[in-house]
Structure 1
Amino acid sequence: MKQGPSHARLAEITANGVRELGKYDTEIIAVIPTEGPGVEGITTSEVREVLARAGLPFGYNKAALRGLQALEAQGFIYCEPRGKMLYWKKRAGASGMAAKAGAMMRFDEALALQVLRRFSSRQLPVLIAQSLSAMFDVAEDKLTRTHAGGPQHHGRWLSKVAVEPAAFPLQHPSIDPEVFAAVSQALFYERKLHIRYRKRGDESDSDRALLPLGLVEVGGLVYLVSGAEGKQEPTLYRLDRMTAAVLQEESFAYPGTFSLDDYVKRQRQFDFFPDGRVKLRLRFRGRAGDHLLESRISDDQTVQRLVGGLEVTGTVTSSHRLRWWIRSFGPHVEVMEPADLRAEFADEARMLADAYRPRAV
């Protein structure tokens, strides 16, 4: 086995890793398993295959081998020849960021990382955080270690933070990590994406060629906002319904007229079937609407106290999401305006009353 540099040299290399690393060396290092008992290593061809699937320009083993040999010369990795095959392993401590963090991370930085880990929304950050797991682990270790004479409140931090969803918790479908990786790479490099997609109720998958424009998480589900050749308006695709995703070599011109922020916040596309702005007037019974005194429904919201309740008025987007929200208050809210929405809820109330009417057994 080839001998690596001294610990001092490795620390020097790690500290200067950002300056010394080549264009794709960080991606190569991430592929190599870290040395340790029972670790077999990874072959050159396996490295190339993983990098190629990630959309990096490693179409041949020689290209991967050159990158591996450059990292070997710097002391980050080493190879073990077995017959005609080379098996690569990463030296412990060669993933510079986490290695440096263990010695240099302050307690306030560790707290910030743990807050990010605990308070991030569910799906998207968990997938992204796979590459940051070493940093999170370092932060957790920093907070849980008890130092002689150190402040005890550091060790108690992790028992002081919890997160609970506001709505009824659902078990959302999982996303294939390989699908997420391909979608993320296509979005980052502005490359075309081929997916296999299954709509709700369909028994088979269909093939789609997409132009990725943005990722949005809504209520624990992750959507890809995507264009398609020959179509003017973007379409939404749920990542958990993608059974496969393949990054294409061909790039596309990201539309300069598209704004994800405008698509989400102004066009209200994630309100589900938005049909324009309306003046909404709701009459709440008891204290059901009191939280709207602090969490407004709109910038122009007005509130009037009534005997036994509260009347709230504001301009909102009429959509399925608005209706779901109003229904969540049950009999404790009455829709006063607009007239067509009031009539719709009146019909629903009659249907609901009929559903609960006592029936002969």
Structure 2
Amino acid sequence: MDTLDSKIISVLPNAGGNAGFLSTPGVHKKLEVIESDVPVIKTVQRRLEKLHLEGLVEMEKRGAAWFWRKGAGAGGMAGKSGSIMTREEALALHVLRSFTSRQIPTLVAEALSDLFKVADKRLEAAVTEDERRYSRWADKVAVEHSGFALRYPQIDPEIFGTISQALFHERKLEILYRPRSNVTNDKCKVILPLGLVEVGGLVYLIGGTEGRSNPTMYRLDRLASANMMLESFSYPRSFKLDDYVKQQRQFDFMVEGEVTLKLRFVNGAGDHLLETPFAADQETRQTSTGLEVQGTVLLSQRLRWWLRSFGPYVEVMEPEKLRAELADEAHALAALYRR
């Protein structure tokens, strides 16, 4: 597509700005400053009308004269891409926003809000039946989570923005953290922001403390305030967030080491493991009493939560200590329901 549209948008005043609107001759004059071969005013007028139909510019009529400015959301990156955004790209952005259900992507996506607005307008401007198919496509796809839906605490966008900047610039953070055990805490502390991790709908800031080797996890929704300091710090070469999360398994909660886990499932409860194994060395065997699954895993609280979710449809055969522990829980649960 001709780049004239993007150049026209680039010279228009921003929506809501103090500059107001610009007449068609005024747009033409600004184009002459940045372009050596500018089309005649009538051509610029026609392109402005086209951009108005697409929702990328706003128009105000004053007598016989027409005045223009960028449409809401057509500034910055959106202004550069608005008129040249294909409907495939607009659809991709629309779907991306629709299925961004986790908190970190949702908060980060605020920076692309103008681009999302342009995408919506691009889809709404459909004229032909082929173009309207793009608008309808978004209503033909859905995502549903398998777990029980909880309403997780919301994170203050300003606090998230401050933390993100501190992470990017590697600057120290002064935070006021109020854990469940001390909700009235009013003492701030200085930490070194090392990373952000989202686990099960909750977002954690991984923060180091000078003089200590092990970092600490802070739930973002429990931060009462966060201020980026002028003082920078050297990001520790020895710290790798991926290693912290995946290998040290810090988010598995109270990791107790590797074990060989052997389970027996009944009533088809474990059939999904045939396609989504819980361990790299997983082995399965169908018997007359059910599906037996075995593999090497880390023993942790998260593993226990997963096993409990199957109720009476899974039997822990090994390790013996875990089997005895869950058996005691089952007896206690049965006693509770016999009251």
TM over 0.5: yes
For residues 231 and 107 of structure 1, what CA distance do their matches in structure 2 show?
Answer: 52
SS state of the match for residue 130, structure 2? coil
> Among residues 88, 92, 96, which one is paired with 2:70 in the alignment?
92
CA contact (8 A) 1:186 1:247 kept: yes
Question: Please, which of 135, 145, 164 is the counterpart of residue 115 of structure 2?
Answer: 135
Q: 1:270 aligns with which of 220, 231, 251?
A: 251
1:167 paired to 2:147? yes
Q: Counterparts of 1:144 and 1:138 in 2: how far apart (Å)?
A: 10
CA contact (8 A) 2:6 2:82 kept: no
Shift of 1:135: 1.0
Maintained 8 Å contact 1:288/1:332: yes
Per-residue CA distance 1:175-229 (angstroms, 9 max, x = gap): 1111111111111100000100111132312422110110011111110111101
Deviation of 1:95 after TM superposition, in Å, equals 2.1
Q: State the 1:153 CA deviation.
A: 1.7
Deviation of the 1:273 alpha carbon:
1.3
Where do 1:8-87 residues align within 5 Å? 11=7, 14=10, 34-35=16-17
Cα gap change, 1:201 to 1:268, in 2 (>3 Å): same
Partner of 2:218 in structure 1?
237
Structure 1 CA distance for aligned equivalents of residues 221 and 125 of structure 2:
38
Residues 198, 241 of structure 1: 8 Å contact kept: yes
Using the TM superposition, give the Cα deviation of residue 141 of structure 1 relative to its aligned residue in structure 2, in angstroms.
2.6
Q: Secondary structure at the match of 1:171?
A: coil
Change beyond 3 A, Cα 1:9–1:99: closer
Question: Equivalent of 1:256, from 222, 233, 237?
Answer: 237
With 248-257 and 95-104 compared, the bigger mean Cα shift is at 95-104
Q: 1:353 to 1:149 in 2, by over 3 A?
A: closer
CA shift digits 1:309-353 (9 cap, x unpaired)? 201111111111111000000000011111111111011011101
Aligned partner of residue 127 in structure 1, secondary structure: helix
Extract unaligned runs of 5+ from structure 2.
21-33, 35-68
Q: How many residues align?
A: 285
TM-score, scaled to structure 1: 0.74
2:292, 2:100 → 1: CA distance?
Answer: 34
DSSP 3-state at the match of 2:181? coil
- Equivalent residue for 1:317, pick from 271, 291, 298: 298
CA pair 350-130 structure 1, distance change in 2 beyond 3 A: same
Q: Aligned to 1:201, what secondary structure does the other structure show?
A: helix
Indicate how the Cα distance of structure 1 residues 121 and 155 shifts in structure 2: closer, same or farther if over 3 A, else same: closer
Cα distance change on mapping 1:306 and 1:37 into 2, 3 Å: farther
Identity %: 55
Could you say which residue in structure 1 is the equivalent of 2:161? Answer: 181
Measured after TM superposition, the shift of residue 37 of structure 1 is 11
Judge which range, 208-217 or 91-100, deviates more. 91-100
User: 1:263, 1:14 → 2: CA distance?
Assistant: 45
Aligned residue type for 2:241: L
For 2:121 and 2:283, the matched residues in 1 are separated by 49
TM-align CA RMSD: 2.5
Offset from partner CA, 1:258-304 (integer Å, 9 cap, x none): 11111111111111111111111111011000000011101100001
**Residues 292 and 149 of structure 1: is their aligned pair in 2 closer, same or farther, counting only changes over 3 Å?**
closer
Paired residue type of 2:7: A
Does the C-alpha gap of structure 1 residues 118 and 13 become closer, same or farther in structure 2, counting only changes over 3 Å? closer
Equivalent in the alignment of 1:154? 134
In the superposition, the TM-score normalised over structure 2's length comes to: 0.78
Change (3 A) 1:201 1:102: same
| 8 A Cα contact 2:198 2:204, kept in partner | yes
Instruction: Describe the superposition over 1:111-136 as per-residue Cα deviations: whole angstroms up to 9, x where unpaired.
Output: 32223222334201111111101111
Shift of 1:9: 11
Alpha-carbon distance between aligned partners in 2 of 1:140 and 1:12, rounded to the nearest angstrom? 20
Q: CA deviation at 1:308?
A: 4.2
